[in-house]
Amino acid sequence: MKLVPFLAFLLFPLTAQAAYSVISTTTTTVGAGPLQRTVFVIQYGADTRQRFQVNRLKTTATVTPHGSIILLPPDSANYEFYEIDEGNNTYTSTAGLLATNGVDVWGYSPRSRQIPGNACGTATFDCSLMNNWGIATIIADVLYIRGQVLAAHPGQNPIIGGYDTGAAIAMALMNNSPTAWSGAWLFEGFIKSNSSPATVEGNNAACFRTTQQLTNGRFEGGLRTQEFKYLRTMPTASYRDAATTSFLSSKRTFIDAFISSYQATVGTINITSGGRISPYVLILNYYESLAVFRDISCSLAQTTTTFTASLSSFTAPLMLSGGDKGNGALMPNVQFLVGTPSNKVTLNILTNQGGLEPYLDIGYVSDVSFPLKNFVLSVFP
């Protein structure tokens, strides 16, 4: 497949578009079909370290087409987050369910994907590059992807969406280009909130801390990678062990600390044997750009409006998903920060859940995937 230039120059100038080039394109059939996966490696400029990955998942079967969606990954992860399934079956994943129902699924994996383990602080990789990998860079990358989606679907804007950090960045894109999207899906994440002063104060501290860290030469971050990344080198049996209830009583002190912190936020974790932690571990990056977390925390602290000032201009259909604990409890408030009419807002708030639990629990198909599919099909009947 040849990627063609993005013609919507008002959203993304052709001079910037020209800086992107396709390094490789690989297309494979998923299982016996009919899903087809295409993976593009894209490079910005002449520096080979400035690369990111674009995935496209679509069906080759004769079905009614139902538009397109661009999915943005959570903190420290990649697009494959939306294809994970405890049975390694793409067809029963969130992206697979959408694609088999005629939705053209596109996904973004950030530039940090390519950084190998233990690279920062050594000569393996110059991690100072991440200083410029904040939300503005991701916005440019995703608008490039949008251009390719429009080439495949002329005149029909995609839906933008994501989980956690992906949801926050989706909001930044809604703000940057309010009329560029046919709808938006935000799952357990936001970049602006009308929540309590304590939340603003907490993010103000995080804004100050991450800004100082970047000034002092620390460029890598990541909220979950440090807890799980070493598991990538362990055998499959150990992954499965981490996915069962024994995960909760692990003797690994750093995982214990993570679980304790997580439980303090969402109460309990309802993950049984056969859950999805194991495949989730596999798609984590070793590093993530600290600049992204600075941009999010400073936006939530309201010390900058760079990524939030035009949210009220977004009027397309909006779906807000999450649990009723943690960030999910704040998701309904997001509808009052945008211009979407109330009759175009869909709420999918799950009882006694929060954080990653709705997605990693074995009930994710009915709790998350089907509601999202129904939303997308309502936008593209």
Please return the burial class of 166, using the count of CB atoms within 10 Å of its CB with bins 0-12, 13-18 and 19+: buried
**Count of CB atoms within 10 A of residue 218's CB?**
17
Q: Is the pLDDT of residue 339 over 90?
A: yes
Task: Report pLDDT for 282.
Answer: 67
Residue 48 has a pLDDT of 92
pLDDT of residue 231: 43
Tens digit of each residue's pLDDT (9 = 90 or more) over 213-244: 999 988 887 544 444 444 444 444 444 344 43
Phi and psi, residue 323, nearest 5°: -90, 180
DSSP class per residue in 4-72: PPP--TTTS-HHHHTTEEEEEEEEEE-TTSSEEEEEEEEEETT-TTSEEEEEEEEE-S------EEEEE
pLDDT for residue 296 is more than 60: yes
Identity of the amino acid at 119 = A
- Integer Cα distance of 92 and 101 in angstroms: 12
Please state whether beta strands 318-325 and 183-187 pair in parallel, antiparallel, or not at all (unpaired).
parallel
The pLDDT value recorded for residue 361 is 64
Is 297's pLDDT higher than 60?
yes
Q: Are 288 and 229 in contact (CB under 8 A)?
A: no
pLDDT at position 83 is 92
Higher-confidence position of 337 and 233? 337
Please tell me the pTM assigned to this model: 0.85
Share of the chain above pLDDT 70, in %: 75
In the CATH scheme, what is the code of domain 14-195+303-379?
3.40.50.1820
Q: If pLDDT is split at 50, 70 and 90, which confidence band does 187 have?
A: very high
The lowest-confidence range among 107-121, 178-192, 258-272, 301-315 is: 258-272
Q: How far apart are CA 70 and CA 55, in angstroms?
A: 9
Compute the CA torsion angle 126, 292, 139, 24 (nearest 10 deg): 40
Q: How do the domains of the chain map onto residue ranges? A: 14-195+303-379
Q: Round to whole Å and give the CA distance between 335 and 82.
A: 24
- Residue 115 to residues 30, 50, 129, 273, 285: CA-CA distances in angstroms? 27, 11, 11, 31, 8
Asked whether residue 148 carries a pLDDT value surpassing 90, the answer given is yes
Question: Please, what is the average pLDDT of the chain?
Answer: 81
Beta strand pairing call for 51-59 and 68-72: unpaired
Distances (CA, A) of 124 to 114, 213, 320: 12, 21, 41
Q: Does residue 13 register a pLDDT over 90?
A: no
Interval 315-327 mean pLDDT: 89
Higher pLDDT, 127 or 211: 211
Residue 330 banded pLDDT, cuts 50, 70, 90: confident
- Give the pLDDT of residue 281: 65
* Alpha carbon distance 378, 369 (integer Å): 14
Residues 327/189, Cβ–Cβ less than 8 Å: yes
pLDDT digits (tens, 9 = 90+) for 58-92: 999 999 999 999 999 998 889 999 998 767 789 98
**Quick one: pLDDT band at residue 106, thresholds 50, 70, 90?**
very high
User: What pLDDT is recorded for position 252?
Assistant: 35
For residue 192, the model assigns a pLDDT of: 92
Q: Residue type for 252, please?
A: R
pLDDT of residue 327: 75
Angle between helices 197-215 and 290-300 (to 10 degrees): 150
Q: Average the pLDDT over each of 117-131, 142-156, 312-326 and give the range with the smallest value.
A: 117-131
Q: pLDDT at position 354, please? A: 67
Two tokens, residue 52: 């990111």
Mean per-residue pLDDT for 288-306? 93
